[in-house]
Amino acid sequence: MPQTDSEKPLRWLLVDFNAYFASVEQQERPELRGKPVAVVPSLVDTTCAIAASYEAKAFGIKTGTLVRDVRRLCPKAQIVEARPDLYVKYHDRLVGAVESCLPVSAVLSIDEMACRLGGGDRDEAAARKLAREVKAAVRGVGGVLRCSIGIAPNRFLAKLASDTQKPDGLVVLRARDLPGSIQHLGARELCGIGPRMERRLAARGVRTVADLFALTPAEMRAAWGGVNGDRFYRSLRGEEVDREESARKSIGHSHVLAPELRTPEKALAVAERLIHKVAARLRSNGLWARGFSLHVRFQGDGGKGSATSWNADAWSRQARLLECQDTLTLLETVRRLWKEAMEEAPMDRPFGVGVAVFDLVEDAHHTFSLFSEDRRAQLSRAMDRINEKFGRDSTYFGGVRGADFTAPMRIAFTQIPDEVERMD
């Protein structure tokens, strides 16, 4: 039998730290408090904001705003270089603060975590009390830090609730309030609906949450092209949907080049430095790669080449691998791809480079090669042990000399750096 509203208690509390990177900077630097702050990956005019304080957001500055536009929108904006190590340290402290109130069930990103409510905590009054305790614990970590909290029957709706009131919000979404309390929202405001899905829905006349609620399960499956439509239908109505744990599909790093590094030779050195990070993470996570990709963005009209590898902004190359996790093999691969690409379309002004490994296999399912790579694997693991003991960059292959400190740790919002990335 289908669930009734009375059978859908408040099961989840989701914590979303507001303007996280910018707030941490304001916490650490009192002179920034109350001022518009834009956090950037590096202090160059060609980059963009990766976070903005609420004072900056009032001027229209947001994630992705170019530095030149930040200055145009708000000449007094404070432009601050990101400090990923600091954000990770605060993240760890904030997890502990939330854990002092109730268990954290899932860390969803650097600035977001979900907690399952149990027993008497599913009562709305009790859940609200817990939320206020969490807010107090967060302020205990840093008086500037704030969080928005959403409480709902499932994680999907708890996330939506946390997004609807910022900063420092507390919103409860009950099943009996649906869809009335959210029907005015645009479909794009729901987690899981990106630009492509938004266009697909718009083609069906679906633009708001009210339009989504009007779809039948069959129409939802057709819109999503399969079972995900059914999952979305049920999640939207407050049902608990089994979450399939998705295996990590790829590991990658990218870097915007400082002006002095925008030559083919120095860009390759940075790419090789990124290879060291990727390979170390493969080994740390017990994974093997069967695919590799190289991506280069550039300025200007660097050359001409085939339509498959070259356009006005970038070129990309991929290679298949025997199951691999050693640094030397990946270095050889990136050098080969770089040489091929340069022969096809010489590049004058590289702007950014990225490397990634994909088609990953866990240790338990790794097929050992007939051609022994033991010496390479042993060398890579020995380097890992040295770097773990004496600090990141204590040892590396000579080809990256001169680029060893040009690609510092970056944080994606959806990924907390692992131990390999956090070594000092």
Give 204's DSSP letter.
T
Least confident of 24-33, 94-103, 387-396: 387-396
- The per-residue pLDDT for range 81-96, each reduced to its tens digit, is 999 889 989 999 999 9
- If you write DSSP's letter for every residue of 62-129 in order, what string do you get? -TT-BHHHHHHH-TTPEEEE--HHHHHHHHHHHHHHHHTTS---EEEETTEEEEE--GGGGSHHHHHH
Residue 396 lies in a domain: yes
Contact between 86 and 68 (Cβ < 8 Å): no
Residue finishing a domain among 150, 177, 204: 177
| Of 165, 170, 167, nearest in space to 18 by CA | 167
CATH number of the domain to which 7 belongs: 3.30.70.270
Q: Quick one: tokens of 184? A: 């005015």
Amino acid at residue number 162: S
- At residue 173, the pLDDT reads 95
- Report yes or no on 354 lying in a domain: yes
Q: Is residue 49, in this structure, part of any structural domain at all? A: yes
- What is the DSSP pairing of strand 78-81 with strand 37-40? parallel
The boundaries of the domain holding residue 81 are 1-177
Determine whether 103 is exposed, middle or buried from the number of CB atoms within 10 Å of its CB (0-12, 13-18, 19+).
exposed
Same domain, 138 and 4: yes
pLDDT bin (cut points 50, 70, 90) of residue 299 is low
Q: Which of 112, 239, 272, 421 is catalytic?
A: 112
Residues 285 and 394 grouped into a single domain? yes
How far is residue 327's CA from residue 399's CA, in Å, rounded to a whole number? 12
pTM of the model: 0.65
Q: Is 18 within a domain?
A: yes
Query: DSSP label at 366?
Result: P
Do 36 and 167 share a domain, yes or no?
Answer: yes
Asked if pLDDT for residue 2 goes beyond 50, the answer is no
How far apart CA 408 and CA 87 sit, in angstroms, is: 14
Residue 389 pLDDT greater than 70, yes or no: no
Same domain (yes/no): 49, 145: yes
Residue that has been written with the tokens 């709305």 in this structure: 124
Which of the listed residues 155, 177, 199 is the one where a domain comes to its end?
177
Tell me the chain's radius of gyration from C-alpha atoms: 24
In the numeric block, the tokens 């997890």 are attached to 95
10 occurs within a structural domain: yes
Q: How confident is the model at residue 1 (pLDDT cuts 50, 70, 90)?
A: very low
The per-residue pLDDT for range 345-375, each reduced to its tens digit, is 666 778 889 999 988 887 766 665 444 445 5
CA 95 vs CA 53, 99, 105: distances in Å: 21, 6, 11
51-52: strand order across its sheet: 51-52, 37-40, 78-81
Q: Output the DSSP codes for 353-404.
A: EEEEEEEEEEGGGPPPPSS--HHHHHHHHHHHHHHHHH-TTSS--GGGTT-T
**Residue 55's pLDDT band (boundaries 50, 70, 90)?**
very high
Q: Is residue 92 part of a domain?
A: yes
Q: What is the pLDDT of residue 246?
A: 44
> What gap in Å lies between CA 25 and CA 327, rounded to an integer?
35
411/177: higher pLDDT: 177
Is position 112 annotated as part of the catalytic site? yes
Tell me which residue has tokens 């339509």: 307
Burial state string for 198-224 with b = 16 or more CB within 10 A and e = fewer than 16? beebeeeebebbebbbebeeeebbebb
pLDDT at residue 382, as a whole number: 54
In a domain, 5, yes or no: yes
CATH of the domain at 323: 3.30.1490.100
Q: Do 408 and 259 share a domain, yes or no?
A: yes
Residue 186 lies in a domain: no
Nearest to 137 by CA among 108, 102, 112: 102
Average of per-residue pLDDT across 9-19: 96
